[in-house]
């Protein structure tokens, strides 16, 4: 069978730390937050252990089948409420060594400077307590570490360059380019952590150029898509880190002064205690606040879980005369940053646009949930699937403390209370949606769509343990360190003070390297 | 040996012969077969080897793969061929074989996956006749005579004896001393698909009295049909009845499940598809057992869910997938999509209460049923222990579950024109796409997917 059989923990020289050894740092989670930080700390000589709730998959175990592939998603139920409940499972979650980078779309726009000073510029939302130029220096390092493809000339940032040529355009890419050209909207090949040439990945080996398969959200079996499991984690292990899969952390032990002394995790049906001098939570925007609320750690100000944000992810699909079959090729190869700050905006912030191909179950689910279709309407819309090309947005979301993650009375299979997430869009999010939908419909019509259909959705889990300078109004400081527990750091999307218009993973990896540097600098 | 008929067939029957017999023993069955069935006899013993079930299954699968056309097929195994059929089906369902389309089986006095019950003196007696290169004509005649309930017509008897004499005696020896004694239970597992077992009441060890116990753990859906006045050699003693049961079995399957078009079956069988994907699609293509006891819901709830499914995910004319049974399986196995609406109880409870509440107000007129669906989508209805909001939320989940179950079936993927599962695969170089442009398709793809054909990279 083809497919990549390498597992992170197969590395013959991987360190094994004793449970009673006080390791320098335990990192909970191995995704875009945990893995780069783990690698950086290990390279600096620290004794570090990463605990991952899910298994250590070989990429060859991934499957393009959309029902079977949910083994790489966190499938223990989250409870989703509010006026605009956000979907979890295959949307928004990861499980396994590599975390959500196993299923991510690998779309890697950089954060826009204006998004980091949203409050300064508009009086709304929150500023990031981080300098944009500093963040970009880390972004460039991440792009070099993982291999990112993109256009030779980036219209909105002419100084930028990418190491690999862009991925091949598919049917829906051509549609978006055609529509944008007709309307005078600038659009081009997007940045993606998808290799278009073979790459010798340090500490991993060959990662081959993409096969143009459209199933990357189900896990890339061949390694053209960067995950932390084929980039940072092998580097971390080579530098002396231990990665422990199948280890679900449910307890944090502290001394009388409140400092973390150990974490308790379940593995193989038994509880284990790993002693540590410092703890980094990198379990994502849902599991990190869930663990903090469950353990009562770092929440004296009651901010944990408050201000949950999800990007507006509304999509518009057009129906065309010829088969588009956007399940072939990288699903989101075209980008437009023309609407990061549109001139005619009746809202603050803005959005990115990307072209969309999609797998059929994802499409069908959105027809049911996002468009409310049933019966013959649903079946005829499914029949249009191969003739459909989409454009989707990633839109700013203002923090609102009424949107929150709390704990349910109901216990999950893992013994901890389930997470309840309440999310309602505010007027600003609705205004962004309206603007985006109108633009996307115009693009598709200009490209020759016979009809268009709007599918409502939101994505990404942000802001549930936010970063800020004010200890009364945030959970961690600008370095990611808890205001309350000085040997506790958080390194995942829960620290985002505002949502940004860029998709979060690239920024997250940069934040991880930065937090690691600041942890090292403070030693 | 394909049947002579040139009639366009719907389904192929791969016949696996019994000990001492070969592909020719299907001749009378093929002659009597429904023209919608293409009957293909498979030689199993001509290579002289029968020491293990997998030896024989290797031979069978190699020849089935060469003859398969991507359309549905039944396996018809007689005696020794019945044990081989079990392993062949297990391997096809495991996805490891370059074959797709298994729909069911008709087994004729099958040897079970467990060691075959055979009196020691009979085994020794048969072994004694198989010491040379072939059985003598006298021994062959005695073998045929000992295995029929009543003497065969002379011409038929001669054909049977000819077949027995043709087989290498080494195959007899290996089967009697090893293959028939092999415990293949773990190689076969449980085969949950439509199966009919035919057995004579004049057959001793593998007859109608013995079969129910022999197959119970392997074929949960099997129906055993007792054949009066028939011994062990069903292909010779009762070919018309076998042919009729093959047609009945195919009719039952084609009315119970949508058919995956042959062109699509060939793609799924090809090296472009991963073993795991082929396994998944092979299982999902099996016709649902509409009569089986529900596992999570009760029968009334399943009926209500069927009625809803017909409105929410209408499958059109022709055979349908029983989405309600598949959701019942999903509930029993604890499957979820990773979240549920706040206020809605866990799926098995929400389904039970929601369906009970719907059943209590289910109108008889379709127009009113459709109005009720609209109410369920917009407002919900009150149910025992769950408010209207909770039922409305659950109903969205249920609509999505029904669509998920429908879309998972390979016939549905074919219907919507999705062959994106055929990437990666088992060839030395993984399969990708030569063209990803609109309107273009590659040579290996089903013909309806595009006008302009592009040679694939390989």
**To the nearest whole angstrom, how far is the Cα of B417 from the nearest Cα of chain A?**
6
pLDDT bucket at B456, cuts 50 / 70 / 90: low
| pLDDT over threshold 80, residue B4 | no
Report the DSSP pairing between strands B11-16 and B73-78.
parallel
Sign of CA dihedral A53, A59, A60, A66: positive
Predicted pLDDT at B1 = 41
Which of A61, A325, A381 would you mutate first to test chain B, the one with the most B CBs within 10 A?
A: A325
List, as ranges, residues 216-275 from B with C-beta within 8 Å of A.
274-275
Could B423 and A420 be called an inter-chain contact, meaning their C-beta atoms sit closer than 8 Å?
no
Residues A59 and A251: beta-carbon distance below 8 Å? no
Count CB atoms within 10 A of the CB of residue B136.
Answer: 14
Structure tokens at A463: 């802001």
- A80·B413 Cβ contact <8 A: no
Can you give the pLDDT at residue A93? 87
Mind listing the pLDDT tens digit for each residue in A81-90?
Answer: 999 999 999 8
Residue A343 phi/psi, 5-degree rounding, is: -60, -35
Q: Which of A360, A384, A385, A423 to probe by mutation at the B interface, max B CB count within 10 Å?
A: A360
Look at B430 and A378 and tell me if their CB atoms are within 8 Å. Answer: no
B132 and chain A in contact, CB less than 8 A: no
Per 3-state DSSP, chain B is made up of helix, strand and coil in percentages (nearest 5) of: 45, 10, 45
What residues form DSSP beta bridges with B200? B227
What's the pLDDT at B457? 56
Tell me what pLDDT residue A127 has.
97
B82: Cα within 13 Å, side-chain hemisphere: 29
Bridge partners, residue A272, by sequence = A265
CB A49 within 8 A of CB A272: no
Closest chain A CA to residue B430: A2
**In which order are the strands placed within the sheet that holds B11-16?**
B37-41, B11-16, B73-78, B102-108, B195-200, B223-227
- Residues 389-428 of chain B with CB under 8 A from chain A are 396, 399-400, 403-404, 407-408, 413, 415-418, 420-421, 423-428
Hey, how many other C-beta atoms are within 10 angstroms of the C-beta on A294? 16
Q: Nearest to residue A70, comparing CAs of A92, A86, A52? A: A92
How close, in Å, is residue A285 to chain B by CA atoms? Answer: 15
Residue B274 has its nearest CB partner, among A1, A74, A359, at: A1
Q: What is the mean pLDDT of chain A?
A: 97
Roughly what angle, to the nearest 10 degrees, separates helices B388-407 and B299-312?
70
Instruction: Give the whole-number percent of chain B exceeding pLDDT 90.
Output: 90
Specify the pLDDT at position B139: 96
Helix runs in B408-455, H state only: 410-416
The C-alpha atoms of residue B250 and residue B105 are separated, in whole angstroms, by 9
Nearest-Cα residue of chain A relative to residue B433: A212
Give the model confidence (pLDDT) of A185-210 as tens digits: 999 999 999 999 999 999 999 999 99
CA nearest to A75, candidates A83, A84, A67: A67
Instruction: Report residue A2's pLDDT band, with 50, 70 and 90 as the boundaries.
Output: low
CA dihedral A126→A127→A130→A136, nearest 10 degrees, is: 100
Number of C-beta neighbours around residue A450 at 10 A = 12
Q: What average pLDDT score do residues A214-225 get?
A: 96
* Whole-number pLDDT of residue A92: 81
d(CA A395, CA A339) in angstroms, rounded, equals: 10
DSSP state of B214: H
Banded pLDDT at B170 (limits 50, 70, 90): very high
- Percent of the residues in chain B that have a pLDDT greater than 70, as a whole number: 98
In angstroms, the CA A27 to CA A16 distance is 15
Average pLDDT over residues B393-412: 96
Residue appearing with tokens 């009196």: B119
Question: Nearest C-alpha of chain B: how many angstroms from A462?
Answer: 17
pLDDT tens-digit map of A294-344: 999 999 999 999 999 999 999 999 999 999 999 999 999 999 999 999 999
Q: Compute CA distances B271 → B91, B251, B266, B423, B436, whole Å.
A: 16, 31, 10, 9, 20
Which residues, other chains included, contact A190 with Cβ-Cβ below 8 Å and sequence gap of 6+? A107, A109, A150, A151, A166, A332, A333, A334, A335, A354
What's the rounded mean pLDDT across residues A12-34? 97
Say what the ipTM of the complex is.
Answer: 0.94
Residues sharing a CB contact under 8 Å with residue A93, sequence separation 6 or more, in sequence order: A73, A74, A75, A78, A100, A103, A284, A286, A461, B338
Q: What is the pLDDT of residue B29?
A: 98
Alpha-carbon dihedral of residues A405, A409, A414, A415, nearest 10 degrees?
130
Distance CA B456, CA B20 (A): 46
The pLDDT score that the predictor gives to residue A112 is: 98
Q: How does B407-427 read in b/e, with b if 16+ C-beta sit within 10 Å?
A: bbbbbbbbbbbbbbbbbbbbe
Q: What is the pLDDT of residues B19-70, one digit of tens each?
A: 999 999 999 999 999 999 999 999 999 999 999 999 999 999 999 999 999 9
CB pairs under 8 A between A and B: 192
Asked whether the beta carbons of A357 and A329 are under 8 A apart, the reply is: yes
CA B124 to CA B177: how far, in whole Å? 9
Q: What is the mean pLDDT of residues A454-482?
A: 97
CB of B396 within 8 A of CB of A369? yes
| Interchain contact B349–A (C-beta under 8 A) | no
Whether A394 has a pLDDT exceeding 90, the answer reads yes
DSSP state, B278?
A: H
Burial class (CB in 10 A: 0-12, 13-18, 19+), B155: exposed
State the Cα–Cα distance between residues A387 and A444, nearest whole angstrom.
13
Alpha-carbon span B137 to B147, nearest angstrom: 15
Q: Which residues contact B146 (CB under 8 A, 6 or more apart)?
A: none
Give the residue from A88, A209, A320, A382 with the most B CB atoms within 10 Å of its CB, the best one to mutate: A382
What would the two tokens of residue B458 be?
């390989």
Q: Which residue has the tokens 């500093």?
A: A134
Distance from CA of B254 to the nearest CA of A (A): 22
Check CB contact under 8 Å for B346 and A77. yes
CA of A210: which chain B residue's CA is closest?
B432
Smallest Cα–Cα separation from A285: which of A34, A489, A92, A130?
A: A92
Q: Give CA angle at B273 (B267, B277), nearest 5°.
A: 110
């Amino acid at each position: 069978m083809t497919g990549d059989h390498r597992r992170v923990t197969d590395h013959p020289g991987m360190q094994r730390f004793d449970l009673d050894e006080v390791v320098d740092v335990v990192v909970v989670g191995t995704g875009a937050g945990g893995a780069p930080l783990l690698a950086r700390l290990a390279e600096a000589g620290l004794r570090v252990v990463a605990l991952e709730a899910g298994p250590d998959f070989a990429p060859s175990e991934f499957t393009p089948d959309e029902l079977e592939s949910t083994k790489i998603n966190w499938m223990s139920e989250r409870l989703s409420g509010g006026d605009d409940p956000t979907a979890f499972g295959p949307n928004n979650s990861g499980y396994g060594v590599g975390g959500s980078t196993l299923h991510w779309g690998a779309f890697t726009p950089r954060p826009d400077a204006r998004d980091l000073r949203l409050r300064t510029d508009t009086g709304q939302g929150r500023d990031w307590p981080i300098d944009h130029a500093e963040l970009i220096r880390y972004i460039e390092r991440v792009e070099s570490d993982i291999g990112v493809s993109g256009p030779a000339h980036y219209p909105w940032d002419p100084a930028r360059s990418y190491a690999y040529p862009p991925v091949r355009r598919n049917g829906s890419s051509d549609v978006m380019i055609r529509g944008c050209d007709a309307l005078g909207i600038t659009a081009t090949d997007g940045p993606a952590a998808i290799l278009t040439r073979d790459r010798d990945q340090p500490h991993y080996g060959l990662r081959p150029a993409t096969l143009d398969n459209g199933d990357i959200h189900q896990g890339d079996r061949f390694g053209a898509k960067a995950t932390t499991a084929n980039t940072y984690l092998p580097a971390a292990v080579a530098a002396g880190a231990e990665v422990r899969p199948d280890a679900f952390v449910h307890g944090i032990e502290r001394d009388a002064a409140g400092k973390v002394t150990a974490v308790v995790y379940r593995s193989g049906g038994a509880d284990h205690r790993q002693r540590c001098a410092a703890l980094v939570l990198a379990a994502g925007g849902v599991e990190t606040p869930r663990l903090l609320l469950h353990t009562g750690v770092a929440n004296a100000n009651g901010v944990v879980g408050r201000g949950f944000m999800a990007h507006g992810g509304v999509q518009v699909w057009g129906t065309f005369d010829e088969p588009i079959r956007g399940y072939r090729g990288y699903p989101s190869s075209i980008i437009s940053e023309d609407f990061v700050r549109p001139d005619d905006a009746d809202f603050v912030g803005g959005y990115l646009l990307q072209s969309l191909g999609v797998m059929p179950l994802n499409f069908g689910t959105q027809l049911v949930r996002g468009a409310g279709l049933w019966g013959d309407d649903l079946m005829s819309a499914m029949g249009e699937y191969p003739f459909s090309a989409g454009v989707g947005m990633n839109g700013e979301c203002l923090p609102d403390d009424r949107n929150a993650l709390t704990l349910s009375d109901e216990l999950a299979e893992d013994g901890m209370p389930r997470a309840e997430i309440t999310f309602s869009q505010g007027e600003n999010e609705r205004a962004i949606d309206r603007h985006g939908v109108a633009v996307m419909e115009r693009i598709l019509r200009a490209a020759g769509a016979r009809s268009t259909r709007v599918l409502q959705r939101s994505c990404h889990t942000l802001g549930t343990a936010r970063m800020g300078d004010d200890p009364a109004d945030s959970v961690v400081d600008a370095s990611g360190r808890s205001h309350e527990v000085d040997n506790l750091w958080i390194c995942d999307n829960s620290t985002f003070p505002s949502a940004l218009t860029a998709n979060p993973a690239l920024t997250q990896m940069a934040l991880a390297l930065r937090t690691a540097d600041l942890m090292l600098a403070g030693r | 040996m394909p049947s002579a008929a040139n009639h366009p067939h719907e389904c192929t029957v791969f016949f696996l012969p019994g000990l001492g017999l070969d592909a020719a023993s299907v001749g009378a069955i093929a002659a009597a077969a429904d023209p919608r069935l293409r009957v293909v006899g498979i030689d199993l013993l001509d290579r002289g080897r029968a020491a293990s079930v997998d030896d024989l299954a290797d031979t069978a699968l190699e020849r089935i793969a060469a003859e398969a056309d991507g359309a549905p097929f039944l396996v018809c195994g007689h005696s020794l061929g019945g044990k081989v059929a079990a392993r062949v089906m297990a391997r096809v369902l495991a996805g490891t074989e370059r074959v797709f389309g298994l729909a069911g089986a008709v087994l004729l006095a099958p040897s079970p996956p467990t060691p075959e019950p055979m009196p020691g003196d009979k085994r020794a007696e048969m072994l004694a006749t198989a010491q040379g290169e072939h059985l003598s004509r006298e021994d062959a005649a005695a073998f045929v005579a000992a295995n029929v309930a009543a003497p065969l017509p002379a011409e038929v008897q001669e054909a049977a004896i000819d077949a027995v004499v043709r087989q290498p005696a080494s195959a007899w020896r290996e089967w009697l001393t090893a293959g028939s004694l092999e415990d293949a239970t773990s190689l076969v597992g449980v085969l949950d698909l439509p199966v009919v077992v035919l057995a004579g009441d004049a057959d001793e060890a593998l007859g109608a009295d013995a079969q129910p116990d022999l197959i119970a753990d392997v074929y949960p859906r099997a129906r055993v049909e007792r054949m009066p006045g028939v011994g062990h050699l069903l292909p010779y003693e009762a070919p018309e009845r076998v042919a009729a049961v093959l047609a009945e079995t195919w009719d039952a399957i084609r009315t119970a499940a949508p058919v995956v078009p042959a062109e699509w079956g060939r793609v799924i069988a090809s090296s472009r598809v991963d073993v795991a994907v082929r396994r998944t699609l092979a299982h999902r293509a099996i016709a649902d057992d509409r009569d089986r006891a529900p596992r999570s819901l009760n029968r009334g709830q399943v009926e209500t869910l069927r009625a809803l499914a017909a409105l929410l995910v209408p499958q059109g004319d022709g055979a349908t997938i029983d989405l309600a049974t598949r959701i019942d399986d999903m509930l029993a196995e604890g499957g979820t999509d990773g979240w549920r609406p706040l206020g809605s109880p866990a799926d098995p409870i929400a389904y039970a209460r929601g369906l009970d509440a719907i059943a209590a107000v289910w109108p008889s007129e379709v127009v009113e049923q459709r109005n009720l669906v609209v109410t369920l989508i917009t407002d919900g209805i009150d149910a025992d222990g769950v408010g209207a909001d909770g039922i409305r939320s659950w109903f969205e989940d249920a609509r999505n579950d029904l669509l998920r179950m429908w879309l998972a079936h390979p016939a549905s993927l074919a219907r919507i024109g999705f062959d994106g599962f055929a990437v990666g695969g088992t060839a030395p170089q993984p399969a990708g796409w030569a063209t990803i442009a609109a309107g273009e398709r590659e040579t290996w793809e089903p013909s309806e997917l595009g006008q302009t054909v592009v040679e694939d990279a390989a």
